């Protein structure tokens, strides 16, 4: 099988849609020898920040000389970005070879009229086989959506379960309250497996703690179960030293750290990763934190023009972006490029951010769920009258650069910020 043939096959599987449930993927993995149970796995769930926490963890382990597998979703650069070892993407020939092995089992299941896995479940099986064959030391596994019924929730005994920021997203699948969403995310917990949580809201923490106790129902008291096994990051334990677009410095439990990812939330993501690493083996190399980079997360990609790209694609994400913009660009004219998916709370997102902007250019993300740039334009107009729908990302960048130049010509500081769906953020480059 060639790589092109492999991708054609995956396109056909993708057309079958998504079905919540673990039965088909468990059957597939069992027939493949349950590779997931032969790996050392850190399992990470959440609404925002999963990728950043995974990146910090990966960087710390790589700095120690470990081989680290990463399974990522969604991606912003290319398809094979989702299967990584020490930051290197899987080779095309390797993907085709492993998929061919998986197809043999899928054909058997189909012949027996068994329910077949979805595309994401097939990809998850490929990831586990890849990491097993490549003898990685540790796998940092990111859920796709939710947790309880997510295809990644097949690992029997992860080293640790980690929860990033949990908020409102994918409500049509996970529930219409943050408590319901937290309950679904908490489904990745396993008995005897320690938990680390980002400084989430009290509502979320209460759900996580309750689910932890339900998974650990021995004779010890709940207080004893929690001690040393459930770690909730407290913002009170973090002292911010300095924040710039290039470097953030902070002190956590008496130790000073430096990271190269901007945004206050990245400091708390970093602390979540630090606490996880210390919990698992009691040590870390600080330079690993400094080296960690993650594309499309309040990322400066150019100084002239000053250009930021950020994958803020839900309400919590845009609130975090607003905080970062207010901190770093208070006296700047802000020019937005925006593209979002139609199943998001995009009206609320526009209400939060668009009043900050001088000019806005909308685009249609290049995916089936992408909201029309024209529809978004009319929504934005209520909050910023200087808005234009563009034919594509290239035109939006050109228009934004022209607007930026006009500001500079008037001796006004300006910044271009492209934000929204990760499905188009990868196309934003200078």
3-state secondary structure string across the chain = CCHHHHHHHHHHHHCCCCCCCCHHHHHHHHHCCCHHHHCCEEEEECCECHHHHHHHHHHHHHHCCCCEEEECCCCCCCHHHHEEECCEECCHHHHHHHHHHHHHHHHHHHHCCCCCCCHHHHHHHHHHHHHHHCCCCEEEEECCCCCCCCCCCCCCCCCEEEECECCCCCHHHHCCCHHHHHHHHHHHCCCCCCEEECCCCHHHHHHHHHHHHHHCCCCCCHHHHHCCCEEECCHHHEEEEEECCCCEEEEECCEEEEECCCCHHHHHHHHHHHHHHHHHHCCCCHHHHHHCCCCCCCEEEEECCEEEEECCCCHHHHHHHHHHHHHHCCCCEEEEEEECECCCCHHHHHHHHHHHCCEEEECCCCCCCECCHHHHHHHHCCCCCCEEECCCHHHHHHHHHHHHHHHHHCCCCEEEEEEECHHHHCCCCC
Tokens of 90: 């899987």
> Which of residues 291, 311, 330 is at a domain's end?
291
Q: Exposed/middle/buried for 272, CB within 10 Å: 0-12, 13-18, 19+? A: buried
Going by their DSSP bridges, the two strands 333-339 and 414-420 should be labelled as: parallel
CATH number at residue 372: 3.90.190.20
Is 430 domain-assigned? no
Q: Which of 12-26, 258-272, 306-320 is predicted with the least confidence, judged by mean pLDDT?
A: 12-26
Q: pLDDT tens, 385-412?
A: 999 999 999 999 999 999 999 999 999 9
Instruction: Report percent pLDDT > 90 for the chain.
Output: 76
Tokens 């993407």 belong to: 89
Question: What average pLDDT score do residues 163-168 get?
Answer: 89
Per the model's pLDDT, the better-predicted residue between 228 and 370 turns out to be 370
Alpha-carbon distance 124 to 130, whole Å? 10
Residues 34 and 112 in one domain: yes
φ, ψ at 266 (rounded to 5°): -70, -30
User: How far does the chain reach from its first CA to its final CA, in angstroms?
Assistant: 36
pLDDT of residue 223: 57
pLDDT in tens, 337-363: 999 999 888 999 999 999 999 999 999
Q: 138 in a domain, yes or no?
A: yes
- Looking at the structure, do residues 216 and 364 belong to the same domain, yes or no? no
Contact 425, 418 (CB under 8 A): yes
Domain presence at residue 340: yes
- Mean predicted confidence (pLDDT) in 121-131: 97
Say whether both 206 and 267 belong to one domain.
yes
| Same domain (yes/no): 32, 54 | yes
User: What was the pLDDT predicted at 425?
Assistant: 85
Confirm if 199 and 234 have CB atoms less than 8 A apart: yes
| Shared domain check, 37 and 161 | yes
Q: Is residue 280 domain-resident? A: yes
Look up the domain containing 365 and give its range: 299-425
Whether 229 and 175 share a structural domain:
yes
Please give the share of the chain, as a percent, with pLDDT higher than 70: 95
CB-based burial, 337-346: b 16+ in 10 Å, e otherwise: bbbbbbebbb
**What pTM value is reported for the model?**
0.88
Q: What local confidence, expressed as pLDDT, does residue 293 receive?
A: 87
User: Residue 220 pLDDT more than 60?
Assistant: no
Higher pLDDT, 192 or 384: 384
What is the rounded distance in angstroms from the CA atom of residue 414 to the CA atom of residue 403? 9
How far apart CA 265 and CA 279 sit, in angstroms, is: 21
Final residue belonging to a domain, choices 243, 270, 291: 291
Is residue 248 domain-resident?
A: yes
Distance of alpha carbon 354 from alpha carbon 19, whole angstroms: 35
Measured CA distances, 252 to 61, 235, 237 (Å): 19, 9, 6
pLDDT at 155: 96
Indicate whether 233 and 310 sit together in one domain.
no
Please check whether residues 377 and 281 belong to one and the same domain.
Answer: no
Clarify whether residues 119 and 232 are in a common domain.
yes
Say if CB 315 and CB 168 are below 8 A apart.
yes
Please give the pLDDT value at position 237: 94
Residue 169 scores a pLDDT above 70:
no
Please report the pLDDT score of residue 368 as a whole number.
86
Kindly report, residue by residue over 249-268, the tens digit of the pLDDT: 999 989 999 999 888 899 99
- Top pLDDT among 284 and 89 is at 89
Please tell me which residue, 25 or 218, carries the higher pLDDT value. 25
Q: Is residue 89 part of a domain?
A: yes
- Backbone torsion region of residue 239, taken as left when φ is above 0, otherwise alpha when ψ lies between -120 and 50, otherwise beta: beta
**C-alpha separations of 417 from 226, 300, 312, 324 in Å:** 42, 9, 11, 11
Q: Which CATH number do you get for residue 82? A: 3.40.1190.10
- The confidence score (pLDDT) of residue 167 equals 84
User: What's the domain count of the chain?
Assistant: 2
pLDDT of residue 225: 55
pLDDT tens digits for 34-84?
Answer: 999 999 999 999 998 999 999 999 999 999 999 999 999 877 788 999 999
| Cα-to-chain-centroid distance, residue 323 | 19
Strand bridging mode 387-389 / 359-362 = parallel
Instruction: Answer yes or no: do 104 and 200 share one domain.
Output: yes
The neighbouring-strand residues paired with 48 are: 165
State which of 258, 291, 324 marks the end of a domain.
Answer: 291
> Are 178 and 65 in the same domain?
yes
Determine, yes or no, domain membership for 365: yes
On average, the pLDDT of the chain sits at: 92
Judgement on whether residues 146 and 25 belong to the same structural domain of the protein? yes
């Amino acid at each position: 099988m060639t790589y092109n043939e492999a991708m054609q096959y995956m396109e056909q599987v993708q057309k079958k849609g998504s079905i919540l449930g673990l039965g088909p993927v468990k059957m597939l993995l069992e027939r493949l020898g349950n590779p997931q149970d032969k790996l050392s796995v850190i399992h990470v769930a959440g609404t925002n920040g999963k990728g950043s926490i995974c990146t910090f963890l990966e960087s710390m382990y790589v700095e120690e000389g470990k081989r680290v597998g990463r399974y990522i979703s969604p991606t912003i650069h290319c398809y094979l970005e989702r299967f990584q070892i020490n930051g290197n993407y899987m080779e095309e020939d390797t993907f085709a070879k492993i998929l061919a092995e998986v197809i043999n089992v899928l054909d058997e299941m189909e012949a027996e009229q068994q329910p077949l896995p979805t595309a994401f479940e097939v990809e998850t099986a490929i990831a586990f086989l890849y990491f097993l064959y490549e003898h990685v030391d540790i796998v940092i596994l990111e859920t796709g959506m939710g947790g309880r019924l997510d295809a990644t929730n097949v690992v029997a005994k992860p080293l640790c379960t980690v929860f990033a920021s949990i908020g409102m997203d994918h409500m049509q699948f996970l529930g219409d309250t943050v408590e319901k969403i937290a309950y679904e995310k908490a489904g990745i917990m396993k008995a005897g497996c320690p938990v680390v949580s980002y400084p989430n809201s009290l509502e979320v923490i209460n759900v996580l703690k309750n689910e932890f106790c339900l998974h650990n129902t021995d004779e010890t008291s709940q207080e004893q179960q929690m001690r040393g096994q459930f770690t909730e990051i407290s913002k009170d334990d973090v002292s911010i030293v300095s924040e710039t677009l290039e470097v953030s410095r902070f002190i956590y439990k008496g130790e000073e750290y430096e990271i190269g990812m901007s945004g206050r939330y990245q400091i708390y993501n970093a602390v979540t990763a630090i606490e996880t690493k210390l919990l698992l083996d009691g040590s870390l190399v600080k330079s690993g934190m400094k080296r960690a980079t993650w594309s499309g997360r309040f990322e400066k990609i150019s100084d002239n023009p000053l250009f930021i790209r950020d994958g803020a694609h839900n309400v919590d994400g845009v609130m975090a972006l607003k905080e970062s913009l207010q901190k770093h660009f208070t006296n700047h004219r802000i020019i937005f490029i925006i593209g979002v998916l139609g199943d998001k709370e995009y009206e609320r997102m526009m209400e939060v951010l668009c009043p900050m902007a001088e000019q806005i250019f909308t685009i249609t993300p290049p995916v089936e769920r992408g909201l029309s740039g024209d529809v978004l334009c009319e929504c934005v107009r209520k909050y910023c009258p200087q808005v234009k729908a563009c034919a594509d990302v290239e035109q939006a960048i050109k228009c934004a650069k022209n607007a930026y130049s006009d500001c500079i010509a008037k001796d006004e500081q300006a910044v271009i910020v492209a934000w929204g769906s990760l499905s188009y953020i990868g196309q934003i480059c200078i």
